[in-house]
């Protein structure tokens, strides 16, 4: 219609052009500035003028016969048409009232919807990938249940000790030329790794495989779930603590505790394949030689200077002993420590840690290569161990070897024994979380009650009266201590009271309040800590005189050996740190 066309042109809603005439009660088409039009729904009336005539124009006279003529309503009585809102350029033409057009989604909203959907897919995809990777790594891990030889789980807020064992078992492709033929898998390489509580330092103590030790009784889990105790043996090579007579890694852990006094919390065991796969995963390990090596036994052929080794060549490097020093195991240990230092530096490098592919390959290789105890048998626990190790600076990771002497019972040098003059101090430092490197620590004044017990006046040694019990120390320790007190430090009023009613893990000295000066003097003579002093009641000795009670616990190391925890590491003849590059010779 022309009216609708004009309505659109004037930006007026066509529906609003039909207005109610209050005089007639009918709707009429009303265009801007026009007269009333035909009413609806009544019949059309002939009109002399055009529908678009002026509203004030007269209509033709009514025919004769008395018919009434309807006059047009005044223009001012008809409401003006309503103006439409201005439609956006991209909005479609409006329809009739009641049929509102659908709103189009803006481009911004479309982009947001697509972006949100894509992000949701990414999150789901990443989550699924992480889950699948986690399950894959979880399936790689091999565990051994060693019972109470290992802790159940891993703690992030404590110092921890992990025994790293390398076996000489000839399994895997290409390993036929290494190890002892038919070996059950002895403990060929052994490192006790201690990580400090504050993660500022760590100590890696190598234990010679040919060191003569006493292997304790060892409960082992059998395939049917039962427990079999493998009897201990005296004066055996350390390496036979694993594999021999069915011994598991828990037996090696117990042997370490027997020798060093340090309890390993967990173990990680690797075979020949581990060296191959791990070195390949990190892209090789840089080694340094002072002289060229061409060993026909291990097939190691390297020039002097620096080389990058991985796979078979890396295994040959750590296995050979004929190319180093006096061709013995002790010189090979030094080379292995240098290799481990380089491997640690490589694994901690940004190139490895920031490359997702390398990181995954390393995690995949490590979980396939290692056998661990059930306490850390989950990927989440192994991840926690790795993250805690990562906190330790390489410059504060110290490599040591148990001090040893040639076995005096052998004419031909083949085995060694613990050097009892030097080794105990190293064992004590590790057990008491003492660093072998210079580490800045905040020194705080000890205001504890235990420290206060050591402060004050001391009696003369001749005034100290004490009875000595054996509460878990080696047999004969009580009498040995009494003899030392009387002959070496002048405590003549001391006596052997035999065995205590029960064993104690720590040595204690119980005394009455008026005996405090005597207790301080005895503590100073024996190297007792304030924690060992227990205020209590007075007892009587065999003469009926008041006396203190000294009970030697399992921590007792011998007469005259201080029981206070060391605060400084002992001087060590040979040690190295993981940050230094050293060349094998």
User: What is residue 574's predicted lDDT score, i.e. its pLDDT?
Assistant: 84
350: enclosing H helix or E strand: helix 350-353
As a whole number of angstroms, the longest Cα–Cα distance in the chain is: 161
> Residue 41, preceding bond cis, omega within 30 degrees?
yes
Residue 495 lies in a domain: yes
* Chosen domain end from 65, 84, 103: 84
Residue 523 lies in a domain: yes
Phi, psi at 254, each rounded to 5°: -65, -35
The whole-angstrom separation of Cα 449 and Cα 226 is 47
The whole-angstrom separation of Cα 148 and Cα 265 is 10
DSSP secondary structure of 162-222: EEEEEE----STT-TTSS-TT----EEEEEEEEE-TTSS-EEEEE--TTBEEEEPPEEEE-
pLDDT (tens, 9 = 90+) of the chain, 585 residues, equals 444 444 444 455 555 566 666 666 565 666 555 444 444 454 444 444 444 444 444 444 444 444 444 444 444 445 555 555 555 555 555 555 555 555 555 665 665 565 555 555 555 554 555 656 667 788 888 999 999 999 999 999 899 999 999 998 765 555 555 555 556 789 999 999 999 999 999 999 999 999 999 999 999 999 898 999 999 999 999 999 999 999 999 999 999 999 999 999 999 999 888 888 888 888 899 999 999 999 888 889 999 999 999 999 999 998 888 888 777 889 999 999 999 999 888 877 767 767 778 778 888 888 888 899 999 999 889 889 988 998 999 999 999 999 999 999 887 778 999 998 889 889 989 998 999 998 765 445 555 777 888 899 999 999 999 999 999 999 999 999 999 999 999 999 999 999 999 999 899 999 999 999 999 999 999 989 888 999 998 899 989 999 999 999 988 988 888 887 777 888 888 889 988 888 988
The number of helix segments (H) and strand segments (E) in the chain equals 13, 27
Residue 176 lies in a domain: yes
CB 220 within 8 A of CB 247: yes
The whole-angstrom separation of Cα 46 and Cα 42 is 13
**73 and 208, same domain (yes or no):** no
Structure tokens at 42: 């009544």
The whole-angstrom separation of Cα 435 and Cα 14 is 93
Residue 469 lies in a domain: yes
Strands (E), 182-338: 187-195, 202-206, 212-215, 218-221, 227-230, 233-237, 266-270, 285-289, 293-295, 300-302, 305-309
7-33 residues labelled b (16+ CB within 10 A) or e (exposed): beeeebbbbbbebebeeeeebbbbbee
The whole-angstrom separation of Cα 232 and Cα 230 is 6
**409 and 478, same domain (yes or no):** no
Nearest CA among 32, 34, 58 for reference residue 47 = 58
Q: How many domains are contained in the chain? A: 3
CB 265 within 8 A of CB 161: yes
**426 and 501, same domain (yes or no):** no
Structure tokens at 159: 């110092």
Domain with residue 199: its CATH number is 3.40.630.190
**249 and 220, same domain (yes or no):** yes
The whole-angstrom separation of Cα 547 and Cα 225 is 52
**490 and 385, same domain (yes or no):** no
Domain assignment of residue 306, given as a range:
142-431
The whole-angstrom separation of Cα 516 and Cα 533 is 9
**213 and 331, same domain (yes or no):** yes
Residue 515 lies in a domain: yes
The whole-angstrom separation of Cα 571 and Cα 422 is 9
* Chosen domain end from 370, 403, 431: 431
**469 and 397, same domain (yes or no):** no
CA 98 to chain centre: 66
Strands (E), 329-421: 370-373, 397-401, 404-406, 416-418
CA distances from 170 to 174, 180, 250 (A): 9, 7, 21
Angle at 277 between CA 274 and CA 283, to 5 degrees: 135
The whole-angstrom separation of Cα 142 and Cα 138 is 9
Residue 471 lies in a domain: yes
Structure tokens at 70: 């309807």
**270 and 414, same domain (yes or no):** yes
Cα dihedral: 50, 52, 56, 58 (round 10) = 10
CB 468 within 8 A of CB 550: yes
Q: Classify residue 322 as exposed, middle or buried by CB count within 10 Å of its CB (0-12, 13-18, 19+).
A: middle
Q: What is the DSSP-derived secondary structure letter of residue 88?
A: P
CB 264 within 8 A of CB 160: no
Residue 40 lies in a domain: yes
The whole-angstrom separation of Cα 123 and Cα 277 is 32
Q: What is the DSSP-derived secondary structure letter of residue 101?
A: P
**410 and 484, same domain (yes or no):** no
The whole-angstrom separation of Cα 542 and Cα 497 is 9
The whole-angstrom separation of Cα 475 and Cα 273 is 46
**163 and 76, same domain (yes or no):** no
The whole-angstrom separation of Cα 33 and Cα 54 is 7
Nearest CA among 431, 461, 446 for reference residue 557 = 431
Cα dihedral: 323, 324, 329, 331 (round 10) = -170
Domain with residue 548: its CATH number is 3.30.70
Structure tokens at 305: 């200077």
Tokens 């040979």, residue located: 574
**363 and 252, same domain (yes or no):** yes
The whole-angstrom separation of Cα 527 and Cα 472 is 18
CB 416 within 8 A of CB 407: yes
**356 and 456, same domain (yes or no):** no
User: What is residue 406's predicted lDDT score, i.e. its pLDDT?
Assistant: 92
374: enclosing H helix or E strand: none
User: What is residue 151's predicted lDDT score, i.e. its pLDDT?
Assistant: 94
Residue 390 lies in a domain: yes
Beta bridge partners of 306: 288
Report the predicted TM-score, pTM, of the whole model to 2 decimal places: 0.67
């Amino acid at each position: 219609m022309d009216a609708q066309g004009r309505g659109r042109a004037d930006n007026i809603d066509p529906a609003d052009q039909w207005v109610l005439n209050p005089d007639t009660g009918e709707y009429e088409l009303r265009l801007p500035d026009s007269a009333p039009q035909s009413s609806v729904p009544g019949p059309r009336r002939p009109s002399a003028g055009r529908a678009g005539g002026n509203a004030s124009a007269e209509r033709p006279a009514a025919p004769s016969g008395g018919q009434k003529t309807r006059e047009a309503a005044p223009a001012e009585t008809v409401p003006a048409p309503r103006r439409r809102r201005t439609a956006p350029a991209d909005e479609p033409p409006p329809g009739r009232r009641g049929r509102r057009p659908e709103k189009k989604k803006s481009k911004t909203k479309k982009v947001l919807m697509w972006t949100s959907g894509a992000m949701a897919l990414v999150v789901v995809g990443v989550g699924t990938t992480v889950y699948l990777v986690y399950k894959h790594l979880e399936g790689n891990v091999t565990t051994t249940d060693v019972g109470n030889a290992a802790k159940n789980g891993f703690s992030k807020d404590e110092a921890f000790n992990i025994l790293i064992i390398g076996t000489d078992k000839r399994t895997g492709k290409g390993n036929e030329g290494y190890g002892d033929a038919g070996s059950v898998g002895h403990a060929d390489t052994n490192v006790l790794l201690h990580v400090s509580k504050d993660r500022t330092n760590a100590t890696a103590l190598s234990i010679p495989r040919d060191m003569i030790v006493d292997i304790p009784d060892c409960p082992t889990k059998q395939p049917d779930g039962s427990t079999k105790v493998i009897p201990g043996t005296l004066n055996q090579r350390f390496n036979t603590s694993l594999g021999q007579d069915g011994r598991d890694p828990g037996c090696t852990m117990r042997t370490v505790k027997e020798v060093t006094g340090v309890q390993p919390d967990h173990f990680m065991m690797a075979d020949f394949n581990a060296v191959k796969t791990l070195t390949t995963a990190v892209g090789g390990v840089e080694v340094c030689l002072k002289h060229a090596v061409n060993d026909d036994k291990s097939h190691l052929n390297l020039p002097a200077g620096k080389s990058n080794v991985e796979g078979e060549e890396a295994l040959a490097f750590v296995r050979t002993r004929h190319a180093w020093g006096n061709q013995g195991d002790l010189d090979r240990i030094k080379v292995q420590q240098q290799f481990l230092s380089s491997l640690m530096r490589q694994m901690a490098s940004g190139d490895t840690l920031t490359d997702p592919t390398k990181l995954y390959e390393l995690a995949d290789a490590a979980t396939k290569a290692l056998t661990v105890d059930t306490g850390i048998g989950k990927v989440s626990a192994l991840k926690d161990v790795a993250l805690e190790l990562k906190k330790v600076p390489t410059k504060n990771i110290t490599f040591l070897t148990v001090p040893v002497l040639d076995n005096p019972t052998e004419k031909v040098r083949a085995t060694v024994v613990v050097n009892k003059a030097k080794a105990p101090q190293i064992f004590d430092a590790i057990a008491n979380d003492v660093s072998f490197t210079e580490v800045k620590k905040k020194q705080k004044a000890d205001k504890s009650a235990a420290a206060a017990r050591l402060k004050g006046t001391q009696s003369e040694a001749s005034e100290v009266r004490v009875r000595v019990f054996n509460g878990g120390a080696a047999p004969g320790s009580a009498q040995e201590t009494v003899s030392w007190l009387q002959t070496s430090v002048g405590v003549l009023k001391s006596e052997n009271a035999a065995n205590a009613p029960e064993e104690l893990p720590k040595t204690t000295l119980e005394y009455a309040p008026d005996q405090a000066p005597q207790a301080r003097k005895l503590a100073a003579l024996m190297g007792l800590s304030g924690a060992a002093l227990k205020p209590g009641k007075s007892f009587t000795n065999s003469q009926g005189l008041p006396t203190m009670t000294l009970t030697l616990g399992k921590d007792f190391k011998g007469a005259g050996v201080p029981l206070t925890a060391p605060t400084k590491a002992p001087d060590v003849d040979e040690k190295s740190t993981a940050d230094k590059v050293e060349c094998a010779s």
